[in-house]
Amino acid sequence: MPEKIEATDHGPVHYEPEPATLVRREAFTDGDSVFAFELQERDTLGHLPGQFVQLFIPGVGEAPFSVSSSPTDEGPFELCIREVGKVTNAIHDLEVGDTVGIRGPFGEVCDIETFADNDVLFIAGGIGLAPLRSMINYVLAHRDWFDDVTVLYGCKEPAEMLYPAEVRQWEQSDIIDFRMTVDGVPEGQTWDGNVGVITTLIPGLNLDPENTYTVVCGPPVMFQFVQQELDEKEIPHEQIYLSLERRMHCGVGLCGHCQINDLYVCQDGPVFNYEVIKNRPEALS
């Protein structure tokens, strides 16, 4: 009789989180904070701008978050997280020094190097700034590779602004054209900038469509209206990228939750070329 056969040659194990320490947290709004983590067993996360990690809280659960720091930033990696559910509530309860589990980085991203010698336009709506920030800061760290760099950022109201200190720097910087708007100004808040949805910022841009690469991230409803404006500007669809969000349970193309028609956000995205995604009816509806 044969001996019990043991499977050998263990492949990579995707499901095991590695410990990471929360080293810093900072609140931006009532519900949005940035959390900086250091891996306990490795020096750096080794991510590309636009990639995401799965963050695991023992006893609670796991959820995917785009990394909001650029690989060019020194020190711990950052996740900007809005309190909207079980896992994100538990993250907001963390104290500096606490340990969490991290899996990843995961995901396919756009190769920002291909934007070199062209103009780059970032369009961020609300919490959509979090994933885009990794790319914005990556571009700024290699500023001389690119021609004009423009960032459009829209929030519901002034109090919802993320990364306010950095936003102020961008506003004053002469190496990027940063423009911001808020949907409205509730009583009690002050604002002397643009008021209106983010799409109102696009017509006023002086773009060179053939030489402009655009990356967009925001709530699903924002995409179609932004796209209409980008079409007005005649930006070729293959030069437009979107960072999309879906539910995920594995991060490795198996659990099925993040599927957009035949594509998997965890493996084919989260950053998609618009030319690839525009004919997938489930992408932007």
Partner 1 sequence: MKILAKYEFDELVNKWIAEDPREVVGATHDGTKFVFDDIDDAEELRLDYDLTMLSPKKYFFPQRERLVQYDTNENDYAMVQDWSEESRIIVGIHPYDLVAIEQLDDIFIDAQGDEPYRRKRENSVLIGVTMQSVSEHSFAASMGTARTETGYDLLVTELEDTYAIEIGSEKGSGLLEEAPTKEASLEEVEAVEEQKAAVESKFEKGIEFSPKQLPSLLKEGYDAVEVWDEYADGCLSCGTCNVVCPTCYCFNVDVVDYMTDEVGETRRRWDGCLLEEFAAVAGGENFREERVARHRHRLMRKGNYLYERFGDIACVGCGRCTKQCVADVADPSEIYNELWRSVNA
Q: Which residues bind partner 1 (CB under 8 A)?
A: 1-7, 10-19, 40, 56-63, 82, 84-88, 99, 101, 219-220, 245-247, 249-250, 252-257, 259-262, 281-282, 285
Task: Output the smallest distance, CB 284 to partner 1, in A.
Answer: 10
Site of tokens 């899996």? 103
Q: Find, among 152, 137, 5, 27, the residue nearest to 71 by Cα.
A: 137
Question: Which tokens sit at 177?
Answer: 């054209």
For residues 87 and 271, which CB has a smaller minimum distance to partner 1 in the complex?
87
Identify which of residues 101 and 236 has a Cβ nearer to partner 1 in the complex. 101
Q: Are 17 and 101 in contact (CB under 8 A)?
A: yes
In whole angstroms, what is the distance from residue 244 CA to residue 262 CA?
15
Q: Which is nearer to partner 1, 172 or 285 (CB)?
A: 285
Contact 260, 280 (CB under 8 A): yes
| Minimum distance from residue 179 beta carbon to partner 1 (Å) | 26
Largest distance between two CA atoms of the chain: 82
Q: Please, what is the minimum distance in Å from the beta carbon of residue 57 to partner 1?
A: 8
Evaluated on CA atoms 73, 193, 182, 277, the torsion sign reads negative
How far is residue 242's CA from residue 259's CA, in Å, rounded to a whole number?
A: 15
Residue 282 to residue 285: CA distance in whole angstroms: 6
Under 8 Å between Cβ of 183 and 126 = no
CB closer to partner 1 out of 3 and 117: 3
Residue whose CB is less far from partner 1, 84 or 141: 84
Q: How far is the CB of 16 from partner 1 (least distance, A)?
A: 5
CB 147, min distance to partner 1, A: 35
- Nearest distance in Å: CB 102, partner 1: 10
Query: Nearer to partner 1 by C-beta: 11 or 204?
Result: 11
Q: Report the length, in residues, of the chain.
A: 285
Q: Which of 36, 120 has the CB closer to partner 1? A: 36
Name the token pair of 53: 């990690």
Q: At its nearest, how many Å lie between partner 1 and the CB of residue 257? A: 7
Tell me which residue of 70, 63, 214 sits closest to 140, measured CA to CA. 70
Q: Which among 144, 54, 178 is positioned nearest to 105, based on CA atoms?
A: 54
